[in-house]
Each structure stands twice: as structure tokens, then as C-alpha cells.
Structure 1
Amino acid sequence: MAVCDAKLSGKFVRQCGHKPKQGIVKKWYFNWEDIDRVATTTSNSGTKVEALVLKTGTYLYPAEGNNKTSSANHALSVLDFGNGYVHTDSFTVMYRGDEESERIQELVNGGRVCTLIQTVDSGVSGELSYHVLGLESGMLVTEDTWNASENSGTTTLTVATQEGEEESTGKKIFMMTAATQSTDLEETEAWITANEVV
């Protein structure tokens, strides 16, 4: 077994056998204003979402990216008023038709967006993890590009946290707490299925 304790110091000790994440598998986006703030709960100093609740009649919208559009990142921004994290995310919208165009237009008109991201490692276990970006302040569209020749015509959106509205934490771990005999991961995936637009 590898000796991992020497890699880092203090509380930042890498666990032996931990596999690095290998990339984004799928994304969903949803309007920041669709979050039920009272019912949604976080823990670990705001870095983990244990219950994400959307308002009645609102949904997660699936999005699909490729090597160029599956990027998502956060960076610490140090400004005059203090520190904060700035999120940036790009994704290609899967949902087609009038509803897709209307949804994008809502965002372009000033709506704020959050992104739910599924990542997976390339190991035997295929470990899944989920993260949320933009939960605290939401992100605004900074780019809307339509390409008629790519993937039968797709729209790629890029969203980013606005200056002066930085998030207090980086990406948040998203894992619904299981209320039944199911695991937290099963509970999380069931929640996504129940809230995804069809």
C-alpha cells in the first residue's frame, strides 16, 4: 500500500487509494430564482448541499458538453471589499424546441443560473460525485453561441458569477441525505430524475 501521509501536511492528508476525478459526465442547469431558500439546507460551512428544493413547477434542464464546452471552474477573487469565489461554466443545451429558446431568452434577459454537475473517475469503481455552482448568488449569461453545423444545431451558453457578487465558497458538494433505507447517492439520483424536465 502506498504511503500517502507524506504527500501533504496537517489535516490535508491524502487517503490511500483515492482516485482523482476524470471529468464531467453530465450537467443540468436551473434558474437561481427557482430555489426554495427556506427548504434548501447546507452543511460543512456551506460547502455541502444536503437538501436542494426547487419551487413548484420548476425544473432542472439537462445540458450536454464536449471536450471544449464541458468546462466548469471556480477561482478565488481578491477585491477591495474582500475575498470571494467566481464561478464560470459552459455547456451545450440538449433540450430542443420552443421551450429551449424561451428558457435561454429568460437567462439572456437577466435571469440567473445555477449548474449541477456530475463527475466520474476512470477507475474500476467509476466513483460518481455531484457539485453545484452558483447556489449563493447565481451566474449570468456572458456568452450565447448558436452553431447550425455542430450537433444538428446547438446553443452553447457560458455563465459566470458577477463581479461584486462573489460566492463565499467554491463549488458545493451535492448529496441529498437519504430519508429511507436508500443510500445518499441513490437519494440524490432519484431527486435528479424527479426534478428533471422531460
Structure 2
Amino acid sequence: MRVESTSLADVLLLVPEAFRDDRGWFTRTFDTAIFDRAAADLGIDVRSGDFTQDSQSRSRRGVVRGMHGRGGRGEAKLVRCARGSVLDVLVDIRPTSATFGQQASFELDDERHAHLYVPPGFLHGFQVTSEQADVCYRIDRPHEPGEDIGVAYDDPDLAIAWPEPVTVVSDRDRSAGSWATLRATLV
């Protein structure tokens, strides 16, 4: 597994190596030693043992889930697409970060097997770009619904370029607040 820095401060892309033969393929999807060494080398204050909960979602083409975040001390997560493909989008909402307010998109799929390490202080969302996709999340603390924050997936200030026509969005995501309102509470 290779660990790469990204254009957003403290966000890591973990890229496993798939071994292929006539049976199909095999990959180690996560390696604690490699993750811990890379995080320490980059000065990122997280270790593999910090993750406490795994979750999975299944969605169909065009579905958007996001843009979600967590207030309080935030939430770190590892995100991967175990089946199909998604465009995963992050927005840095840490006011003291060099990349505050910036966004980046990452293609996650079941061919490359890449994971994103998302540190606390980010909005996160994705759109399914295959017929169906399973997205797996490894989270560093139990869900506290009272700390949920969000920005509408179609917020004009974020202007996220979703690659597919948006087919389904939850009522919660559709009625989420604006980036301008959230930003004003952060700075």
C-alpha cells in the first residue's frame, strides 16, 4: 500500500496494490503499520487504532450523499468504494488550515481500491458514477446526531461539479444550510 499526500492539508490517499491472476484479484485494503508510519512521518496526529466504527452505504447511479461534517472535535474517517465507483468530494472547514474553504475531488472505485483519510474538520460527500456503489467508512468515534453539520450539495458558493445528473438526494441533504452561513460560524 502506497500513501500519497493530496492538495488538501492532512488528507491522505491510500492506494493498495492488487495482485491479479486467473482467479481474479487480491488486495490488502488496509495496513495499520503502513498507515501509522505515513501519518507519523507527515506529522498527522492519528493512528490506525483511533478508528472505532465501520459503516457501509449502497446507492445507485446519480445519488449524492453530502455534504456532511461534524461539529465539536470533528470526526476522522477512512473512506473507500468497495463496489462500483464514486466521485468523493471534500471541503476543508478548518479556519486555521492553509487550505480552508478549498475543495478537492477523488475518484474512488473497486478497481484501484484507494482509500481517503479524511481528518476532522472537513465536509464530505460523494456521487455514484456507476450503476451501483458500496461506500465503506471507518470512523474514529461513535455518531452523535446533535453534532451533525451540513451544506447543501448544490450550494452555489461551493459550486461542486458533480459528474452525473443528480438523481436522488435525501431531504436532509436537500435542506442543508449554505456554505456562507457555515463559514460565518467558523471564522
**Normalising TM by the smaller chain, what interval?**
under 0.3
Q: Which of the two has higher C-alpha Rg?
A: 1
Query: Structure with the greater relative contact order (CA < 8 A, sep ≥ 6): 1 or 2?
Result: 2
TM-score (norm 2): 0.27
TM-score (norm 1): 0.26
